[in-house]
């Protein structure tokens, strides 16, 4: 049975299945993702501040993904989309991230350059359709979680190959699948418009941006990387905006970001000071809620206004984010980058993290199956050529948590 508003093709799975329960296909997708080991591992992977850094209240990749899913589910409901499709995409969106966040992604991309590099979103598709152990065909071929076409497509942030990659503001190539996973990509994108994301994927992406901007700003204040008083007094304001502009790219001018900050700082719940008290923690949490409501509400209203009395599912519409709202999201992300990621004091840490992953990958490649977990050792033994074996090594290293990567590195010494 097709779920309401979605076609039979949207409900199809790459490997056909039959089920006796009355749960919708999309609810089943969400349950599979929620119970997956790949999702659980995100609890020990870096969001902005590492889970090993001693701030046990800072977001990790799992708590970030849960918050993205909460924002996305409500956004999806407000736009008449299936909430389970959006929820699943939001929960899945960071599955492919390696240890140490984007810094780890950079290290693996460099090591994997001879086989086409590494990209976290492409790794997500690989996990969903191949690596996560759930469904196998009669011939023993793995199908990962074997999600429906609608849920897989909603999880695909960049629906194009590496050969057609686009660069993000940091210059990183962004694409949706590795060449080895082209069959899965072609199946999930059957009859989809070329390079166009379905609206459910757009909602996932917006929800990620909202959660990233607001919650990482909150963590940076709690961790005392950002002093709201100094920020409010415009101390070093020009330099902060310049750094923010470097991080978010040329879609917004420095003047755009400055005007966006002025609007945000005029929000009634904006913090003018911080002492770490419970009262201030409550004030900060209320600001977080207000900003999420501000951003999501504006996008919902603009999208509904653009498509009145119209079904929005799949490729029937696009999410509309007003430019002013997009610039407010961008300036929050840029401020966090300026005060946390770009701090000179953190650069030795970042270099060490890259060295750890590079050493682990090189060692595993030299040692072969003996250095790999059981499942990846089997993949190595079945690999047809050296490129496939290198990809197995990347799969293994990308699967590690921050702590597991550091522990394995210490064992090399």
For residue 119, the model assigns a pLDDT of: 97
The residues with which 13 forms a beta bridge, in sequence order, are 148
Residues 224-282 have pLDDT tens digits of 889 999 898 877 789 889 988 988 888 999 999 999 999 999 999 999 999 999 999 99
Domain that holds residue 404: 348-412
Do 242 and 276 have their domain in common? Answer: yes
Q: Report if residue 68 sits inside a domain.
A: yes
Q: How many domains in the chain?
A: 3
**Confidence at residue 102, expressed as pLDDT on a 0 to 100 scale:** 87
258 and 331 both lie in a single domain: yes
Q: What pLDDT score does 345 carry?
A: 66
Asked whether residue 40 is assigned to any structural domain, the reply reads yes
> Which of 296, 321, 347 is the last residue before a domain boundary?
347
Report yes or no on 145 lying in a domain: yes
Q: Are 156 and 19 found together in one domain?
A: yes
28 versus 223: the higher-pLDDT residue is 28
- 222 and 89, same structural domain? no
Torsion (CA) 96, 113, 382, 33 in degrees, nearest 10: 10
The verdict on 139 and 156 lying in the same domain is: yes
- Which pLDDT score is estimated for 347? 82
The string of pLDDT tens digits covering residues 299-340 is 999 999 999 988 999 999 999 999 999 999 999 999 998 888
Residues 169 and 31 occupy one common structural domain: yes
Is the same domain home to 92 and 217?
no
Average pLDDT over all residues of the chain: 93
Is residue 335 included in any domain, yes or no? yes
Do 231 and 301 share a domain, yes or no? yes
Between CA 413 and CA 410 the distance in angstroms is: 5
326 and 288 within one domain: yes
Inside any domain, residue 2: no
By the 10 Å C-beta count (0-12 exposed, 13-18 middle, 19+ buried), 238 is classed as: exposed
Q: Are residues 37 and 181 in the same domain?
A: yes
Residue 259 shares a structural domain with residue 320: yes
CATH of the domain at 147: 1.10.3210.10
Whether residue 3 is contained in a domain is answered as no
| Residue 55 in tokens | 């701030």
pLDDT (tens digit per residue) in 129-161: 999 999 999 999 999 999 999 999 999 999 999
* 1: in domain: no
Are 266 and 339 members of one domain?
yes
Residues 6 or more apart whose CB falls under 8 angstroms from that of 148 comprise 10, 11, 12, 13, 25, 26, 29
Residue 387 CA from chain centroid, whole number: 26
The sign of the CA dihedral 91, 92, 98, 104 is negative
**Whose structure tokens read 């199908």?**
143
Whether 43 shows a pLDDT value over 80: the answer reads yes
Domain ends where: 307, 331, 347?
347
Point out the domain boundary residue: 195, 210, 239.
195
């Amino acid at each position: 049975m097709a779920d309401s508003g979605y076609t039979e093709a949207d409900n199809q799975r790459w490997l056909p299945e039959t089920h006796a329960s009355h749960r919708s296909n999309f609810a089943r997708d969400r349950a599979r993702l929620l119970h997956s080991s790949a999702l659980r591992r995100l609890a020990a992977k870096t969001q902005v501040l590492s889970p090993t850094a001693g701030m046990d209240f800072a977001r990790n990749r799992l708590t970030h993904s849960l918050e993205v899913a909460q924002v996305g589910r409500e956004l999806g409901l407000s736009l008449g989309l299936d909430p389970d499709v959006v929820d699943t995409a939001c929960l899945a969106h960071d599955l492919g991230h390696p240890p140490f966040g984007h810094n780890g992604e950079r290290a693996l991309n460099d090591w994997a350059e001879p086989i086409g590099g590494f990209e976290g979103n492409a790794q997500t598709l690989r996990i969903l359709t191949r690596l996560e152990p759930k469904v196998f065909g009669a011939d023993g071929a793995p199908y990962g979680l074997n999600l429906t076409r609608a849920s897989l497509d909603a999880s695909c942030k960049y629906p194009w190959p590496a050969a057609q990659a686009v660069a993000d503001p940091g210059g990183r190539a962004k694409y949706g699948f590795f060449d080895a996973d082209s069959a899965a990509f072609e199946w999930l994108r059957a009859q989809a418009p070329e390079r166009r994301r379905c609206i459910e994927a757009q909602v996932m992406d917006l929800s990620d941006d909202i959660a990233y901007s607001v919650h990482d700003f909150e963590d940076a204040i709690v961790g005392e990387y950002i002093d709201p008083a100094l920020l409010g007094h415009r101390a070093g304001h020009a330099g902060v905006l310049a750094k923010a502009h470097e991080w978010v790219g040329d879609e917004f001018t420095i003047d755009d970001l400055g005007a966006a900050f002025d609007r945000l700082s005029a929000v009634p719940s904006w913090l003018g000071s911080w002492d770490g008290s419970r009262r201030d923690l409550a004030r900060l949490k209320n600001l977080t809620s207000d900003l999420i409501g501000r951003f999501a509400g504006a996008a919902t209203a603009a999208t509904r206004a653009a498509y009145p009395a119209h079904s929005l599912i799949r490729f029937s519409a696009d999410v509309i984010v007003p430019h002013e709202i997009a610039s407010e999201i961008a300036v929050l992300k840029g401020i966090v980058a300026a005060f946390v990621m770009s701090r000179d004091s953190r650069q030795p840490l970042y270099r060490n993290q890259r060295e750890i992953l590079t050493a682990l990958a090189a060692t595993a490649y030299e040692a072969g199956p003996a250095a790999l977990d059981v499942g990846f050792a089997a993949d190595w033994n079945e690999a047809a050529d050296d490129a496939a074996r290198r990809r197995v090594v990347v799969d293994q290293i990308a699967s590690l948590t921050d702590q597991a990567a550091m522990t394995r590195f210490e064992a090399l010494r």
